[in-house]
């Protein structure tokens, strides 16, 4: 069952009823000011860092779900309703929510009133705009009251939820005209405040939550709405909020428009105050002035749309399958941008306080955004590199506000270093800009280094940390955070990853070996490029050694082993009680070139197909683990079928898709692609539950009671990797160091497709034709009518370049 539809032309998903199977969300903002918004206007806003600079409050895991947001209430003659449905939930005569690129519009009708609320963050400013239109559809004059509502967070989101002995005393606000200023802690060490304003004269306000709601009322029944007037309350401690009270008169058929604005301001120490105790409002007033009319807001909205138009024009596909087009052209790229911006911080599954930017996560995210925002990708690479240690290991996470590594989790995830090579290689393949290798970025110790030095440290970290079978030591974990082979956790609440009670010089990861072999050749190329020929030679030798080690100790009979545990026993081997096969090394070892000469790759991928394939995608392992296994760690803590214990972990499915394209099996690659791509699952939204326009991290596996149900939408490496799989390997438009390679591997029944691809200053208009209905193989390529040698398009410094590709 569906709950809406894709409006492809406008790049929107249109939700037709408010009670979606889970709140279906969108993100506002793409620079420094961000908001998360549900289809009923729930959610919250923050500046740069969802944990450290949270501007408005939200209640995770509340009953009912999705509590806290940008709420509006319309009052008339003793009754009231919420035009976004939440929180008051009266039945609306019509409802529609359009989630678009960086904006959300909710339209509804009730009692002969038509309300439209558009939410977005304009480019270049730290502010969120709510453009509210109210139209009187009736024949009579109406006198309405409109109440706005949002609740401030006291900036540090975790402290805000826990430290009540202090926080119930610190809250402070100021009200000036139609503007409510939130200035908690501004009197001491904060030099920032938040404001919420409306571009019209108000008849009243509230800034104290209890005065607005009543102590025993929910958001659905504020006492102010019961009374039909505000209390003009000033918050002293407790919970500061912002609510405006406006009287709106509408003639028959008349429409009025209000612009609300939530803004964030920073002042220098010496410019904090206007007079003792009164905050300096200069910057706030300028910001308000900038967006205080419909014309100004509409202009900003146009600019936002142009920004997205331009971004998404970097890659666009014409194909007979609209589902594929909407994934590739719009939603997958949009999700790539969101994961670039938010990493794993704020979604409905990530509360915005636990993780900041992950070394592993963000490096992988860059694979999906290098073509969109190369300059910002370059900066992110540098920010990540600073948190790397001289021995190549890296802080697993850092906070975006401080850019400092997170001591609590530390380092020791032995896949981390390699992801930096993936990210830098992707950046250079996209841009051709090798100068990044010379960029000076110190190690975490402050030791001077170039980006190339960082890559060398990454590569050598693997070489210097090999185990008994000459395979890479796994450390706390590799990509699979839950395969904890060097830590035996016995106490509830302990971190499965970081409890250190076993020495970590025995457990080894075949997956890291596969990653090493995948990233290694790129490292060799880069070493040669910077003239480090000796190092390049050494690296080649190490790669050969690793290849031998995997072929000797990393294979089971029909697939690649997953690991060796602390005792030296095989993990992911036939005959094991549980988890005989894991997905990760199968994709990665083949990407790393293993098993291609002796048919082992085919055999492996057939095993994957037999053992892991399901109606809803490829499961991460089989059979699922039925009891807690201390030697395997968190993976066995999940009930069978969930998360790392046998769910369809959408992040690693594309590794197998890519492996299938490497052996030329386009039908299977695309079968796997379309099983998990959300647009293909839209028709089962009631089962899938999360948004049909973005990937979720996981879909419950065959052994779960809720087989097919997705969780953890939005912030997942799934986005970047599926984009890589479909665009670079299935459609086969692949940036390489030498240029843009064209090497499709598609289902045999496709006739072809067209792609427009911006690449290093050129714009290629590529038409792929498949007259012989093959899966793989390029017979001829014509550039501007002329046949070229090979499959690589070099950069052309001119307008659209027509490319014709004949498969066969
Ligand atoms: C989850 C993993 C996640 C990790 C992050 C685990 O509980 O299962 O998917 O990567 O937490 O720390
Ligand atoms: C989610 C984490 O963000 C990611 O780093 C990890 O690789 C996967 N889970 C698998 O455990």
Span from the CA of 496 to the centroid of ligand 2 (angstroms): 14
Asked if 148 contacts 242 with a C-beta cutoff of 8 angstroms, the reply is yes
For residue 622, the SS3 value is strand
- How far apart (Å, rounded) are the C-alpha atoms in residues 439 and 418? 19
The pLDDT assigned to 303 comes to 98
The pLDDT assigned to 500 comes to 76
The pLDDT assigned to 355 comes to 85
- How far apart (Å, rounded) are the C-alpha atoms in residues 651 and 358? 15
Ligand 1 atom nearest 481 alpha carbon: 10
- How far apart (Å, rounded) are the C-alpha atoms in residues 726 and 718? 12
The pLDDT assigned to 507 comes to 97
Ligand 1 atom nearest 697 alpha carbon: 9
Nearest-ligand number for the alpha carbon of 636: 1
Asked if 524 contacts 672 with a C-beta cutoff of 8 angstroms, the reply is no
Mean pLDDT of 132-157: 98
Query: How many other CB atoms are there within 10 angstroms of residue 390's CB atom?
Result: 14
Classify residue 759 by its DSSP letter. Answer: E
The pLDDT assigned to 354 comes to 86
Nearest-ligand number for the alpha carbon of 645: 1
Q: Which of 340, 339, 351, 365 is nearest to 694 (CA)?
A: 339
Q: Nearest C-alpha to atom 5 of ligand 2 is from which residue?
A: 361
Q: Given strand 12-15, what is the order of strands in its sheet? A: 4-7, 12-15, 94-100, 103-110, 113-120, 127-136, 255-266, 192-198, 179-182, 173-176
pLDDT level of residue 384 (50, 70, 90 thresholds): very high
Residue 139 pLDDT greater than 90, yes or no = yes
Residue 291 pLDDT greater than 90, yes or no = yes
% pLDDT > 70, the chain: 100
330: its two tokens: 């719009």
Residues 435-447 pLDDT 10s: 999 999 999 999 9
Q: Nearest C-alpha to atom 12 of ligand 1 is from which residue?
A: 481
Span from the CA of 681 to the centroid of ligand 2 (angstroms): 23
Q: Nearest C-alpha to atom 7 of ligand 2 is from which residue?
A: 479
Residues 326-375 pLDDT 10s: 999 999 999 999 999 999 999 999 999 988 899 999 999 999 999 999 99
Q: Nearest C-alpha to atom 10 of ligand 2 is from which residue?
A: 480
Span from the CA of 600 to the centroid of ligand 1 (angstroms): 31
Domain ranges in the chain are 4-309, 733-807
Residue 192 pLDDT greater than 80, yes or no = yes
Report angle CA 631, 653, 354 to the nearest 5 degrees.
60
Ligand 1 atom nearest 409 alpha carbon: 12
The pLDDT assigned to 193 comes to 98
The DSSP code sequence of 206-252 is EEEHHHHH-TT--TTS-HHHHHTS---B--BSS-EEEEEEEEEEE-T
The pLDDT assigned to 689 comes to 98
Nearest-ligand number for the alpha carbon of 408: 1
Span from the CA of 631 to the centroid of ligand 2 (angstroms): 19
CB-based contacts of 806, cutoff 8 Å, min separation 6: 769, 771, 778, 779, 780, 781
The pLDDT assigned to 400 comes to 87
Show the DSSP H helices in 432-559 as ranges.
451-463, 510-529, 533-553
Q: Nearest C-alpha to atom 3 of ligand 2 is from which residue?
A: 361
The pLDDT assigned to 591 comes to 98
Residue 39 pLDDT greater than 90, yes or no = yes
Q: What is the mean pLDDT of the chain?
A: 97
703 is catalytic: no
**Which protein residues touch ligand 2 with a CB less than 6 Å away?**
344, 358, 360-361, 479-482, 644
The DSSP code sequence of 69-115 is B-EEEEEETTEEE-TTSTTT-PPPSEEEEEEETTEEEEEEEETTEEE
Span from the CA of 462 to the centroid of ligand 1 (angstroms): 23
Residues 741-776 pLDDT 10s: 999 999 999 999 999 999 999 999 999 999 999 999
Q: Which of 359, 481, 713 to mutate to test the pocket of ligand 2 (most atoms within 8 A of CB)?
A: 481
Classify residue 637 by its DSSP letter. Answer: G
Residue 798 pLDDT greater than 90, yes or no = no
Span from the CA of 391 to the centroid of ligand 1 (angstroms): 25
Residues 770-779 pLDDT 10s: 999 999 999 9
Q: What is the dihedral of CA 457, 459, 460, 465, to 10 degrees?
A: 120
Ligand 2 atom nearest 358 alpha carbon: 5
* Per-residue three-class SS string for 166-188: HHHHHCEEEEECCEEEECCCCCC
The pLDDT assigned to 555 comes to 98
The pLDDT assigned to 72 comes to 98
Q: Which of 481, 699, 701 to mutate to test the pocket of ligand 1 (most atoms within 8 A of CB)?
A: 481
Q: Which of 344, 515, 717 to mutate to test the pocket of ligand 2 (most atoms within 8 A of CB)?
A: 717
632: its two tokens: 């395997």
Q: Supply the Cα-derived Rg of the chain in whole angstroms.
A: 28
% pLDDT > 90, the chain: 97
Catalytic residue among 208, 481, 522, 743: 481
Q: Nearest C-alpha to atom 3 of ligand 1 is from which residue?
A: 481
Q: Which of 637, 650, 651 to mutate to test the pocket of ligand 2 (most atoms within 8 A of CB)?
A: 651
Nearest-ligand number for the alpha carbon of 362: 2
Asked if 258 contacts 294 with a C-beta cutoff of 8 angstroms, the reply is no
**Which protein residues touch ligand 1 with a CB less than 6 Å away?**
481-482, 634, 643-644
Residues 576-618 pLDDT 10s: 999 999 999 999 999 999 999 999 999 999 999 999 999 999 9
In the chain the first and final C-alpha atoms are separated, in Å, by: 40
- How far apart (Å, rounded) are the C-alpha atoms in residues 696 and 497? 23
Residues facing 710 on adjacent strands: 699
Nearest-ligand number for the alpha carbon of 649: 2
Mean pLDDT of 119-130: 98
Mean pLDDT of 459-478: 98
Residue 21 pLDDT greater than 90, yes or no = yes
Residue 147 pLDDT greater than 80, yes or no = yes
Span from the CA of 695 to the centroid of ligand 2 (angstroms): 14
Span from the CA of 481 to the centroid of ligand 1 (angstroms): 6
261: its two tokens: 């604005």
Residues 52-65 pLDDT 10s: 999 999 999 999 99
The CATH class of 4-309 is: mainly beta
The pLDDT assigned to 799 comes to 77
Residues 628-674 pLDDT 10s: 999 999 999 999 999 999 999 999 999 999 999 999 999 999 999 99
Which superfamily does 733-807 belong to?
A: Maltose phosphorylase, domain 3 (2.60.420.10)
Span from the CA of 572 to the centroid of ligand 2 (angstroms): 19
């Amino acid at each position: 069952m569906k709950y809406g539809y894709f409006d492809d032309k406008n790049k929107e998903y249109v939700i037709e009823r408010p009670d979606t199977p889970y709140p279906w969300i969108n993100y506002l903002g793409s620079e420094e000011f961000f908001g998360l918004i549900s289809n009923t206007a729930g959610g919250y806003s923050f500046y740069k860092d969802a944990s450290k600079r949270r501007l408005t409050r939200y209640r995770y895991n509340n009953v009912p779900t999705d509590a806290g947001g940008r709420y509006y209430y319309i009052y008339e003659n003793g009754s009231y309703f919420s035009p976004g449905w939440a929180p008051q939930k009266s039945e609306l005569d019509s409802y529609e929510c359009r989630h678009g690129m960086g904006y959300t519009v909710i339209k509804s009708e009730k009692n002969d009133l038509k309300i439209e609320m558009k939410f977005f963050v304009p480019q270049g400013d730290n502010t969120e705009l709510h453009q509210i239109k109210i139209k009187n559809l009736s024949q009579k004059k109406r006198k309405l009251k409109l109440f706005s509502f949002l609740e401030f967070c006291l900036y540090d989101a975790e402290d805000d939820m826990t430290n009540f002995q202090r926080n119930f005393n610190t809250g402070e606000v100021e009200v000036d005209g139609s503007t409510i200023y939130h200035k908690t802690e501004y009197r001491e060490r904060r030099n920032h405040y938040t404001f919420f304003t409306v571009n019209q004269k108000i008849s009243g306000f509230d800034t104290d939550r209890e005065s607005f709601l009543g102590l025993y009322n929910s958001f659905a029944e504020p006492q102010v709405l019961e009374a039909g007037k505000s209390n003009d309350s000033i918050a002293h401690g407790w919970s500061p909020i912002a609510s405006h009270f406006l009287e709106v008169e509408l003639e028959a058929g008349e429409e009025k428009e209000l612009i609300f604005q939530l803004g964030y301001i920073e002042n220098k120490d010496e410019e904090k105050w206007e007079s003792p105790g009164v905050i300096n409002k200069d910057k706030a007033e300028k910001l308000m002035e900038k967006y205080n009319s419909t014309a100004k807001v509409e202009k900003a909205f146009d600019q936002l749309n142009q920004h997205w138009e331009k971004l998404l024009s970097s890659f666009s596909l014409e194909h007979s399958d609209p589902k594929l087009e909407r994934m590739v052209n719009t939603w997958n790229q949009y999700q790539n941008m969101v994961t670039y911006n938010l990493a794993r911080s704020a979604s409905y599954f990530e509360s915005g306080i636990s993780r900041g930017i992950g070394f592993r996560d963000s490096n992988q995210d860059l694979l999906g955004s290098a073509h969109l925002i190369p300059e910002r990708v370059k900066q992110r690479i540098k920010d990540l590199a600073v948190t790397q240690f001289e021995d190549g290991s890296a802080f697993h996470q850092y906070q975006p506000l401080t850019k400092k590594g997170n001591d609590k989790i530390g380092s020791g995830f032995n896949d981390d270093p390699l992801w930096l090579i993936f990210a830098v290689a992707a950046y250079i393949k996209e841009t051709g800009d090798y100068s990044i290798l010379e960029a000076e970025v110190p190690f975490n110790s402050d030791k001077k280094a170039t980006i190339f030095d960082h890559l060398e440290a990454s590569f050598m970290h693997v070489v210097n940390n090999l185990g008994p079978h000459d395979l890479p030591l796994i450390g706390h974990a590799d990509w699979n955070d839950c395969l904890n082979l060097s830590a035996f956790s016995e106490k509830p609440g302990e971190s499965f990853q970081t409890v250190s009670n076993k020495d970590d010089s025995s457990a080894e990861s075949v997956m890291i070996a596969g990653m090493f072999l995948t990233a290694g050749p790129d490292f060799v190329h880069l070493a040669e490029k910077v003239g480090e020929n000796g190092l390049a030679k050494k690296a080649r030798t190490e790669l050969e050694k690793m290849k031998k080690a995997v072929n000797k100790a990393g294979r089971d009979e029909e697939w690649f082993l997953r690991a060796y545990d602390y005792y030296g026993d095989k993990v992911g081997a036939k005959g094991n009680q549980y988890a005989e096969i894991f997905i990760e090394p199968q994709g990665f070892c083949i990407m790393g070139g293993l098993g291609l000469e002796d048919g082992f790759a085919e055999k492996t991928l057939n095993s994957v197909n037999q053992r892991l394939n399901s109606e809803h995608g490829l499961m991460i392992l089989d059979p699922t683990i039925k009891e807690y296994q201390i030697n395997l760690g968190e993976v066995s803590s999940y009930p069978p079928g969930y998360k790392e214990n046998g769910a369809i972990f959408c992040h690693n499915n594309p590794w197998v898709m890519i492996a299938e394209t490497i052996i030329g099996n386009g039908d299977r690659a695309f079968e796997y692609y379309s099983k998990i791509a959300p647009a293909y699952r839209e028709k089962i939204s009631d089962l899938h539950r999360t948004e049909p326009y973005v990937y979720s991290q996981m879909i419950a596996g065959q052994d779960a009671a809720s087989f097919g149900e997705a969780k953890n939408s939005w912030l997942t490496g799934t986005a970047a990797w599926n984009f890589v799989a479909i665009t670079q390997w299935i459609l086969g438009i692949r940036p390489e160091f030498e240029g843009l390679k064209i090497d499709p591997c598609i289902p045999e029944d496709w006739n072809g497709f067209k792609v427009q691809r911006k690449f290093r200053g050129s714009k290629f208009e590529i038409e792929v034709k498949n007259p012989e209905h093959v899966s793989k193989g390029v017979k001829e390529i014509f550039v501007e009518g002329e046949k070229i040698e090979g499959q690589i398009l070099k950069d052309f410094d001119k307008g659209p370049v027509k490319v014709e590709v004949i498969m066969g």
